Amino acid sequence: MAAHLSYGRVNLNILREVARKDLREFLDKCAGSKAIVWDEYLTGPFGLIAQYSLLKEHEVEKMFTLKSGRVPPADVKNIIFFVRPRLELMDIIAENVFSEDKLQSSRDFHILFVPRRSVLCEQRLKEQGVLASFINIDEYILDLIPYDGDLLSMEYESAFRECYLENDQTSLYHTAKGLINLQALYGTIPQIYGKGECARHVANMMLRMKREFAGSQNQILPVFDTLLLLDRNVDLLTPLATQLTYEGLIDEIYGITNGYVKLPPEKFAQKKQGEASKDLPTEPKKLQLNSAEELYAEIRDKNFNAVGAALSKKAKIISAAFEGRHNAKTVGEIKQFVSQLPHMQAARSSLANHTSIAELIKDITSMCHLASEAFFDNLTVEQEFMTGVETDKVNPYIEDCIAQKDPLIKILRLVCMQSVCNNGLKQKVFDYYKREILQTYGYEHILTLNNLEKASLLKPQTSSRNNYPTIRKTLKLWLEDANEQNPNDISYVYSGYAPLSVRLTQVLARPGWRSIEEVLKMLPGPHFEERQQLPAGLHKKRQQGENRTTLVFFLGGVTYAEIAALRFLSQMEDSGMEYIIATTKLLNGTTWIKSLMDRPESQIS
């Protein structure tokens, strides 16, 4: 099922297996048939750990979504609530339990808190008078979920908002705990680097937790050489830019959630001859996207402009393989051909899917299409900002977009980007944009604007000096003529812009951060280095030419394009470094800005 998790440099399937084992053990604790009541938010992340079949094997017969009222009738012995530790959910659970009692049935209740038990929540259940109704109250430690062979995500959507707007560091605590658990499975990581306030906080907690549990951890040869903790707010620019890799664009346009994407169905109509072809599917087409699919693994990180060529090359290979049947003469040869058929058919359907997706994207992005002009214009402005063209003036394109009432998030992305690239906007420009937004989209957005200001995404210029150009030049964030087909630098993922976060990672590996002290000081938050003592005898004896492994942890989210850039660095022959990526959540500019918005609903009737 999850073989792709074990193909990478680090076998992340171990993590998944541990998670599955824990789940099974909990389910078996509640003997007899069961129904699970889900906190809806959790179903996605759990999908990455276990399919319904696993639950079924352990007598889970029904699944419901947690909502107020009563748990739907089901002839089961146990009702298990799978929830995040949130007070509002506790109230709903209490209501569920109360309405159940009225029915006089004798179903057993259990709670599984994900990722951790909470005294506060149990207190609330006690106040509501239902705590004693639960036979088992347990926690399911699900911090880092294996997302792909080189990717871990906590799927903690609100992490950035909580850290930077609400000063709530719960997500960082879970991060530190997750990293400690990771070290228990993969050995102590000898070196920790970091940049940013949150990174510092996580590192401190990790080191403290390590001390607390010193001696109890098992002796494992370290798999990771280095851990790099990066605050999202060190690089606010990158997620705002439109990602231009294949996977990045799928995410920008259709949105990938928990590894799945939903696509308009028209392009995926079954092309069968005859009867059933007339009715088009109306349900969106749902596809799982990960490296288990060979073709996808090949093209996901390519610049979209290089995807077409890759697809047609693949098409040739596949049809050549099918042609092979004419060469099969002997029974043995035919048998061999037939044995390869399933694989070839899978490859063919995968190719068909991705050709369709690529067509969909092309309709939106390609330059020679009328509808795509907007996409292109938007990109041009983004690139102007990133190269520092007229970032201190009101941008006419943004003005036009507001006048056209383009989606607010698009406007916010652009305005924030301009602000970040100018190290804050001139007060006049700043106020002008805000007024335009409030007058066009409604005054309620004043709260959102305040939030963006708090997160430093949109701010007035305080010092006269704009240090973005210095950062851009020192870190070579902009490369003209990025080679999209055969890239030689990470800047290909944004067709010219090299993501700041990834550049920092690259420089850390070689020549080291000391070479960019000045720039690091311009970026927010402290940068630091810590070493963790390894027990004697666990120091790695490195084979010559053996790559080092770095775990890069993005606190507050990471984009698919950044991941692509890191994968590119891993594959570069002379880099000597392989990267595993971990994050609180996979995001793009749109989902990110959305998470920072506040929208009070008006009650006036």
Tokens 């990581």 locate to: 189
Task: Report in angstroms how near the CB of residue 536 gets to another protein at its nearest.
Answer: 13
Closer of 147 and 160 to another protein (Cβ): 160
Question: Using CA atoms, how far apart are residues 244 and 252, in angstroms rounded to an integer?
Answer: 9
Q: How far is the CB of 171 from another protein (least distance, A)?
A: 9
Q: How far is the CB of 173 from another protein (least distance, A)?
A: 5
Burial state string for 217-256 with b = 16 or more CB within 10 A and e = fewer than 16? eeeeebbbbbbbbbbbbbbbbbbbbbbbbbbbbbbbbbeb
Within 10 Å of residue 323's Cβ, how many Cβ atoms? 9
Q: In sequence order, which residues have a C-beta less than 8 Å from that of residue 233 and are 6 or more positions away?
A: 164, 196, 197, 198, 455, 456, 524, 525, 556
Q: How far is the CB of 368 from another protein (least distance, A)?
A: 5
- Extended beta strands in 154-298, E state: 191-195, 226-231, 256-257, 260-263, 285-288
Nearest to 365 by CA among 249, 263, 268: 249
Q: Is 18 helix (H, G, I), strand (E, B) or coil?
A: helix
Q: CB of 214: closest distance to another protein in angstroms?
A: 4
Residues 6+ apart with CB under 8 A from 476: 498, 503
From residue 37, how far is each of 68, 277, 313, 504 by CA, in Å? 11, 39, 47, 44
d(CA 189, CA 210): 11
Nearer Cβ to another protein (135/403): 403
- Among residues 56 and 531, whose Cβ is nearest to another protein? 531
Q: Give the residue from 305, 278, 47, 300 showing the smallest Cα distance to 153.
A: 47
CB of 497 to another protein, least distance (A): 21
DSSP SS3 for 227: strand
Q: What is the contact surface with another protein in residues (CB under 8 A)?
A: 85, 87-88, 116-120, 123, 166-170, 172-173, 176, 201, 205, 208, 211-216, 368, 399-400, 402-405, 431, 434-436, 438-444, 446-447, 450, 598, 600-605
Residue type, 364: I
Shortest Cβ distance from residue 180 to another protein (Å)?
A: 12
The minimum distance between CB 32 and another protein, in angstroms, equals: 24
Closest to another protein by CB, 17 vs 399, is 399
Between 260 and 441, whose beta carbon lies closer to another protein? 441
Closer residue to another protein in complex, CB, 318/457: 457
Nearer to another protein, 211 or 272 (CB): 211
38 or 376: whose CB is closer to another protein? Answer: 376
